[in-house]
Amino acid sequence: MPTVTTGARLHFGFQNLALAHERLYGGVGLALAEPLLVVEAEPAAELRCDDEAARPYVERVVDVLDVPGAAVSVTERFPRHVGLGSGTQLSLAALIAVARAHDLTADARSYAPALGRGGRSGIGVATFLQGGFVVDGGHPTERFTAEPPAEGDWEVPPVLARHDVPADWRFLLVVPDVEHGRSGASEDRSMRDAVERADPGIADEISTLLTRQLLPAIATRDRRAFGAAAARLGRLNGAWYADEQGGVYRPPAGELVERLNDVPAITGAGQSSWGPTVWGLTTVDEQQTARRAGQDALASAGVEGTVRVVAPRNTGADLTE
């Protein structure tokens, strides 16, 4: 039985949301070893899926591959719409599993637009294929104005840079039990509004930050410089989104980030995508201290939630048969 295993991703932010520049979006993020998503598939004459939340994704895969059906099980998954990229990972995992179940091959990058993926950020597709830290090239602004092309009428953004993440780095994930982040039509409206108002000067700051700090930091494995630069990238993105999410961070992420920044074991903290997940960068040796800091931050904010410390993933999704 074809089984695809993939992991979550962090999305630190975009390089540009302003229509004044030639390229729009341009995601920056990295792959995580956990939490995991595991999808199994067998050939079938009709669609059978034991996970109602996953069923629409599988229906689209069956349609795009033009196969009669599939019996699909999601045996392990992570939360949807919390900033960890579950939608793209589920779509692509189902694509590969169902294709193999029917003795077909499917290139995730080629099929992603037909599945509604890669229309803004290419990070989810790139981390599914390669893992690691990724910077993508965004889309031509002339085609991706505030009103994007028809669904599927795009190419996944090219990968401009990709680096392995040091194996001894760890990422604290704090997921407060609050309303889920934006997705679907709500996310599209918020992104459209943000693009229409975006200050192009912020993109200029991000360009300098990326080339002079973030990329050199990952290339030289400088954890402190990387954490500080990734956190700064998130704050600059938050200035674009402030009207849409109620501040530079989506509450209560701001309070959580502030608390984590006071902990010496954590070098950089921020919000992943629309949140509510907050990340913090630490090491193998300091992961227990970081975990306690995440729990303390939730308690200080007066919210429940989950806390875990995970490794980076430097390989793409795994297919076993």
Answer whether residue 144 shows pLDDT above 60.
Answer: yes
More confident residue, 145 or 261: 261
Tell me the three state secondary structure of residue 159. Answer: strand
* pLDDT at 150 (0 to 100): 82
Tell me the three state secondary structure of residue 314. Answer: coil
- As a whole number of Å, the end-to-end CA separation of the chain is 5
Answer whether residue 239 shows pLDDT above 90.
Answer: yes
Tell me the three state secondary structure of residue 71. Answer: strand
Strand partners, 70: 43, 47
pLDDT level of residue 4 (50, 70, 90 thresholds): very high
- In this structure, the chain runs to a length of 321
Q: Domain containing 223 — which CATH number?
A: 3.30.230.120
* pLDDT at 186 (0 to 100): 63
Answer whether residue 181 shows pLDDT above 60.
Answer: no
* pLDDT at 187 (0 to 100): 66
Strand partners, 221: none
Between 86-101 and 55-65, two packed helices, what is the crossing angle to 10 degrees? 50
- Among 8-17, 38-47, 149-158, 169-178, the minimum mean pLDDT is found in 149-158
Span 212-217, average pLDDT: 98
* pLDDT at 151 (0 to 100): 82
Percent of the chain predicted with pLDDT > 70: 96
* pLDDT at 184 (0 to 100): 57
Full domain range(s) for residue 272: 3-320
* pLDDT at 287 (0 to 100): 98
Span 294-302, average pLDDT: 98
Q: How many CA atoms lie within 13 A of 278 on its CB side?
A: 35
Own/partner contacts of 190-196, CB < 8 Å, gap of 24 or more, are 190/241, 190/244, 190/245, 190/274, 191/120, 192/146, 192/147, 193/243, 193/244, 194/17, 194/240, 194/241, 194/243, 194/244, 195/17, 195/18, 195/19, 195/24, 195/145, 195/146, 196/19, 196/146
pLDDT level of residue 215 (50, 70, 90 thresholds): very high
Q: How far apart are CA 41 and CA 28, in angstroms?
A: 31
Tokens at 250, concatenated: 């989506």
Give per-residue pLDDT as tens, 20-30: 999 999 999 99
Give per-residue pLDDT as tens, 80-95: 999 999 999 999 999 9
Alpha-carbon dihedral 123, 127, 129, 132, rounded to 10 degrees: 130
Average model confidence (pLDDT) across the chain:
95
Residue 46 CB: number of other CB atoms within 10 A?
A: 9
Q: How far apart are CA 197 and CA 29, in angstroms?
A: 24
Domain count, the chain: 1
More confident residue, 185 or 304: 304
Span 172-176, average pLDDT: 98
* pLDDT at 271 (0 to 100): 98
Which parts of the chain are beta strand (E)?
3-16, 23-43, 47-49, 70-76, 133-136, 139-140, 159-163, 169-176, 269-271, 278-283, 305-310, 318-320
Tokens at 20, concatenated: 């004044």
Strand partners, 135: 28, 161
Q: How far apart are CA 283 and CA 226, in angstroms?
A: 13
CB neighbours of 258 closer than 8 A, spacing ≥ 6?
none
